Amino acid sequence: MGCTEQYQFCNPVNGRCTDLMGTTLLTEGDDAIIGLNPVQEVIRARIGFAALKSSIHYHLSSRGANALRAQEAVSGADQTPLPPNQWTIEASTWFSVSLASLQKQMVEYATGPATTVSDPRRQIPPGPMGRMMCSNQKVRATDGSISFSVLGTCIILVLGMAIVLTSLCVDSVVGWIQHRVLRRGVHRRLQWILDETLQLQRLAFEEAGMGTWSGTTASVPVTRAGELLGGFDATIDPDHPRLSRAMAGGGGNGGGGSTSVSDVKSGMTFTQQETGPLMGGYAPTHTPST
C-alpha cells in the first residue's frame, strides 16, 4: 500500500486556496496568491513547519512495524484473523497520530520543545510578529477544566464566616443583654455559665478549698498569679480518689451556708441553701428584696 500526503492552505476571508502541495513546499508557499495579511503569514509558516514534522512518513520511518495496529493481534508466533478493512484502520490511525503531532507542535511553539534533543531547524521565531505569538496563544487543556461560580463561592464563604462568628459571640451577647438590658433570668444565666467545663473545674477546686478565684462568671475563671492548686494527698483512696480539702477556712461543704442572688426587675431574691451532703445546684427560695 502506498500513501501520498498533500497539503493546502486557504484564506477564510476571500476563499482563495493554494494548490495541493507536498511537504517540501510547506514552508515555501506564496502567501500573496491567497492574500494573507502579516499575522496570517506567520500563522501559515507555523502550521507549515509543524506539519512538516507531523507527516505520516515522519512517524512511520521511526516506528517501523510498531506503527501497525495489526501488531495488537499478534501473540508469540500466532496472529488472530484481521478484518477485511484493516488497511483503512491502519491509515486512519496514522492520520490521527499525524493530527495529534500537529497539535503538539503548535503548543510547543509557545511552551518550548518537550525534548532536549537539539534540532537545527528549531530556532527562535524571527521577527516581532513571530515572537509576539509566543506569549499570545490559548490552548484547551487536555485534562479538562473546572467551572465554578465566583458569586456562589463568595456567598458560601461569607455565610460560613457569619455563622462561625455568630456561634462564637452569641453566648456573650445574649448574656450581656439578659444581664444589662432585660435584667431577668439571672438563675438560668448562671446555670448556663456554670455548666461550662472550666467553670465546673473551678467549682470542684473551690469547693475543695483550693485557689483564690476571679472571673467566676466569665468564660475562663482564673486564680491569683503564681498560685498553685492542690492535688492528692498520701492517704488517697485508689478506689475512690478525690481532691484534698484545704484545712484553712473558706470553701467546704461541712458547715453549711447560703448564697443569694437578687433579680432587680422582679423584686425577688434567689437563695442557694447548703444543707450538708446534698448534691450541688440551685434551690431558690423567694423572699422580697429590701
Closest CA to 127 of 12, 43, 26, 49: 43
pLDDT band at 161 (very low <50, low <70, confident <90, very high): very high
Q: Which of 47-51, 145-149, 204-208 bottoms out in mean pLDDT, i.e. has the lowest?
A: 145-149
Q: What's the chain's average pLDDT?
A: 75
Closest CA to 179 of 263, 259, 260: 263
Question: Grid coordinates representing 96?
Answer: 490521527
Q: For residue range 63-122, list pLDDT tens digits in order.
A: 777 888 888 888 888 888 888 898 889 888 888 888 888 888 888 877 777 776 666 666
Q: For residue range 8-42, list pLDDT tens digits in order.
A: 888 888 888 888 888 777 766 666 778 888 888 88
